[in-house]
Amino acid sequence: MKLKDKNLYYVGGVVRDEILGIKSFDKDFCYEGNAIIFSQNLNKLRENPDFGTVRVLFNNEEIDIASTRTEKYPKPGHLPVVDKIGCSLKEDLQRRDFSINAMAKNTVTGEITDFFDGLEDIENKKIRVLHDNSFIDDPSRILRGLKFAVRFGFELETHTKKLQDEYLNNINYDMSFHRIKKELKETFNLNNEKAFEIFISQNIYKLLGENQNTPQIKTSIQKLVEAHKPKNIWLVYAGLFNLEKLELNTEEQEIINSYNSIKNEFPRNDFEIYKLFSNLPLESILLYAISVDKNIATRFLDFLSEIKLETSGEDLIKLGFKQGKIFKHIFEKTLEYKINNPYITKSDEIEFIKENFL
């Protein structure tokens, strides 16, 4: 059974994706009227009366239904506040970011509501804002535009591009960086260097705050990122900029700090490479790859990082060594030997230790 009502619509990304013939990440519903009243006989999991939104369990699926609403921006660039709940569908669609995201599909008739020519823009592969104040209201839409452009192979429609340029030439940094961070993550998590190129060539990086230098990108690392799958892909790209305003968490800050600690280092042999990178976050090493030297980083990631000593502390005790500072020295020297002779066995390691330290 499907969730149907003549006032209930699929809205936003799900409609866009269906037209594009691709799978949607999530299914957003919008009820023309009050969704909380509409869902009173459904299995309601939670509701948020301030936003007029509700989550229901239907056929074992969690579904979000929003009431149609209008929003206001008390301060440009800050989070909007709800103005009216239960407005017309047209007014609800009007608050959205781009024409391709401002369509609705009726759950009963299947009819598509398209006040802003989203269908035509999909056909022409264009990203178009709905009004001239769109980026001033919410500058994170610039990153959303980049995300959709790269994801679908679309480009900004001429007037939208002009509005974007105007905004980026005159940014009001009194904005919600929370949303900037969220959209930046989604955009760069695509691991698509096209996004990075546009981010720089269209000056979108200026959204990250004043005092930015445009980094020099040495080489493509898309394949390296694909092969090693870091958790924070976005930072492998965004980490080259000054991210002060984004409120990084401890893990993210550690990635940046580690990268800063190695970016001026040039190890000259395998052991130096090993020492430089071991125990560092993967993202910091990938940042080194993209901005300093990809060959050195690849040597570590694809080969050296696998090398481990098989000899343990217990083995050293069995050989007659007394636990203490000497252990660290022996391990380091034996590791150096192994890094230069990666295919030696455990007994070769023990032989080396006996020859050099007993």
User: Which residues of this protein are in contact with ligand ATP, per CB under 6 A?
Assistant: 12-13, 25-26, 28, 96-97, 101-102, 138, 140-141, 144
Q: How far is it, in rounded angstroms, from Cα 225 to Cα 191?
A: 7
- Smallest gap from Cβ 264 to ligand ATP, in A, equals 37
Name the residue number minimizing CB distance to ligand ATP. Answer: 13
* Closer residue to ligand ATP (CB): 96 or 185: 96
Least distance between ligand ATP and beta carbon 197 (Å)? 20
Compare residues 22 and 37 and give the one whose CB is closer to ligand ATP: 22
How far apart, in whole angstroms, are the C-alpha atoms of residue 334 and residue 321?
15
User: Taking the CB of residue 319, how many other CB atoms lie within 10 A of it?
Assistant: 14
Residue 129 backbone phi and psi in degrees, to 5: -80, 165
Q: Which is nearer to ligand ATP, 66 or 221 (CB)?
A: 66
Judged by beta carbon, residue 96 or residue 181, the one nearer ligand ATP is 96
Map residue 29 onto helix, strand or coil.
Answer: strand
Residue 324: CB minimum distance to ligand ATP, A = 56
Our CB check for ligand ATP shows the closer of 138 and 283 to be: 138
Contacts for 104 with CB less than 8 Å, ≥ 6 apart: 9, 10, 11, 15, 30, 89, 93, 112, 113
Smallest gap from Cβ 175 to ligand ATP, in A, equals 12
**What is the helix, strand, coil percentage profile of the chain, to 5?**
50, 15, 35
Q: Name the minimum Å distance from CB 210 to ligand ATP.
A: 23
Comparison of 134 and 298: residue with beta carbon closer to ligand ATP: 134
Burial 43-81 (b: 16+ CB within 10 A, else e): eeeebeeebbbbebeeeeeebbbbbbbbbebeeebeebe
The CB-of-284 to ligand ATP minimum distance in angstroms stands at 28
58: β partners = 61
Token output for 288: 């080194």
